[in-house]
Structure 1
């Protein structure tokens, strides 16, 4: 099993935790940029959550 296969397997098994981590990172980036790019950051987080794991994403 390649590294990429292992990474995908991890993301699939831990989708909820990955989605939560992405949300926290997005919130921190938004805070550090003075909330000037909130819509773009939210869109990027949503897209990342769709592409990681096979479970449900966070709202």
Structure 2
């Protein structure tokens, strides 16, 4: 696997180890995109945030 794949795997492992911190980052990123786009893509950012949360195992957190 290349460097990018290795970095992605390390990031996922860190998120699994610290799901609360990872969730704060996901929420912050989702909110920033929604603010910058005037909520134009809100449903897409909700789906993306859910997908990210599933990737590190935080399935109980709903999208905002």
Interval containing the TM-score (normalised by the shorter chain): 0.7 to 0.9
Structure 1 runs of 4+ off > 4 angstroms?
Answer: none
1:17 matches 2:21: yes
Q: 5+ residue gaps in structure 1?
A: none
TM-score by length of 1: 0.72
RMSD over aligned CA atoms reads 2.0
Number of aligned residues: 56
What TM-score do the two structures reach when normalised by structure 2? Answer: 0.68
Aligned to 1:28: 32
**Are the structure 2 counterparts of residues 8 and 41 from structure 1 closer, same or farther at C-alpha, using a change threshold of 3 Å?**
closer
